[in-house]
Amino acid sequence: MTSRRSDGTALLCVLVFCITCGVGAFGPLLPEIGKTHALSDWQLGILAGSFGLARMIADVPSGVLAGRYLAPTLMVSPAVVLAGLVLLATGGPFPILVLGRILTGLGHTFGMVGGLTAILRDDFGPRASIRLNVFEFAGMLGVLGGLASVGAMPAGWSWPRSLLAASVPVLVPVAIVPMMRHRFFALSGRPSDAPSAPRTSSARTSPIVWLMFGVGIILALAWASVSQFLIPLRGTREFGLDRGGVSSLLALSQLVDLAALLPVGWLADRAGRVPVLGSVVAIVAFGVWGTGLGSFGYFVAGCGLLGLGMAGWMLPLGIIREHIEPHTLAWRTGLYRVGIDGAAFLGPLICGAIGESHTTVFIALVGLAALVAGGCVLWRGRA
């Protein structure tokens, strides 16, 4: 039974790594896209945030699909991501770029929600946190792979060419489609796992579940605002960094995240998810402040702290699972991702809409919200 679960986790990790490389490659290219197409800040905000918008719209439907048709949901993911990347690589015009980002977000949602549902449904044992973090680890490796690829490419390459080259791993899941179908088909179509509002409407949702929804939203808002908008644009405009420099800073966050993910998951399984989560959310606050408000030294340090704090990204979902009925798992996973991806959409959009001169105020408020959220989680853990 153990090997069976390990095999499934390995396949999910390969999938999420491959579909996430293009996500990592996009961030460093954002300033170049803006210059090439003479896009304003609000247009850059829409372009960066449309990925999160697509995921927000698709989260609940993906939860429904994953609850009933898990294997097909996972299998279609790379095809939709590839379609979005091809549209982006056409180079525009602007509506086509946004549509490409939307399709990329849609395909990524199928893979993420399907993968999370498979992991949470197939393992209710003491290793749940570490398995979730291994899955997240693979996704972060994909982001880092995309960042590293873009940073290493010749400066003379156009941004569409660089994006496509960095996103080549999305073709790999095509080869493992038969294995995914064989491994996850048995988990599809379980009536007890399908989302069902009437069955859950009479059950009162625990307050800690709502708290975890709020924490997840704040984490997503912080990560999306900083990594998809603030670091690329502030690094380029204020500190004069080129594509490689922006990639290096974004990679720093990913490297710290990768280094901390498995230890944080291990610690959460032993010391408790709640106190560990409260600590890492507070760290996110200082990372946000450093990247948004500090000089270059604090800017770099903030990137590292943000990565450290985001190592607890999967802990809220693990806590939610402890306080809900198993048959609501796919539905709750999709609903949780709506909040996450809605925040991921709004973060860059708000930054672009208010303009560079007012972004620092918004970032300061996001950091404050993270600090308060971390305190609330720690207080709840002692209660």
Q: Mean pLDDT over residues 364-368, rounded? A: 92
pLDDT digits 0-9 by tens, 9-64: 788 889 999 999 988 888 888 888 888 888 888 888 889 888 888 888 888 788 78
Q: How far apart are alpha carbons 73 and 172 in whole angstroms?
A: 17
Please name the fold of domain 2-193+205-382.
Growth Hormone; Chain: A; (1.20.1250)
Token pair, residue 100, equals 């490409």
Residue 381 has pLDDT above 70, yes or no: no
- pTM listed for this prediction: 0.69
Residue 366, token pair as written in the block: 């996001």
Q: Where along the chain do its domains lie?
A: 2-193+205-382
pLDDT for residue 243 is more than 90: no
- DSSP, residue by residue, 109-159: HHHHHHHHHHHHHH--STTHHHHHHHHHHHHHHHHHHHHHHHHHS-TTS-H
Chain Cα centroid distance, residue 217: 11
Sign of CA dihedral 182, 337, 123, 139: positive
Q: Which long-range CB contacts under 8 A does 180-183 form with residues at least 24 apart? A: 180/11, 180/15, 180/71, 180/74, 180/75, 181/71, 181/75, 183/7, 183/8, 183/11, 183/71
Q: Tens digits of per-residue pLDDT, 259-311?
A: 888 888 788 878 888 889 999 999 999 999 999 888 899 999 999 999 898 88
Q: Residue 84 and residue 81: Cα distance in Å, rounded? A: 5
Q: pLDDT tens for residues 314-342?
A: 788 878 877 777 666 666 777 787 888 88
Confidence at residue 15, expressed as pLDDT on a 0 to 100 scale: 92
CA 312 to chain centre: 12
Residue 101 C-beta-side C-alpha neighbours within 13 Å:
28
Give the confidence band of 6 by pLDDT, cuts at 50, 70, 90. Answer: very low
380: exposed, middle or buried (Cβ count in 10 Å: 0-12, 13-18, 19+): middle
What is the structure's pLDDT at 189?
Answer: 53
Nearest of 379, 267, 367, 371 to residue 314 by alpha carbon: 267
For 245, counting Cβ atoms within 10 Å of its Cβ (0-12 exposed, 13-18 middle, 19+ buried), the class is middle
Average pLDDT of the chain?
82
Q: Which ranges of the chain does DSSP label H, i.e. alpha helix? A: 2-37, 41-68, 70-89, 94-122, 128-152, 159-166, 177-184, 197-200, 207-225, 231-237, 243-271, 273-293, 296-309, 315-322, 329-354, 356-382
Question: Taking Cα atoms as reference points, which of 211, 209, 358, 210 lies closest to residue 281?
Answer: 211
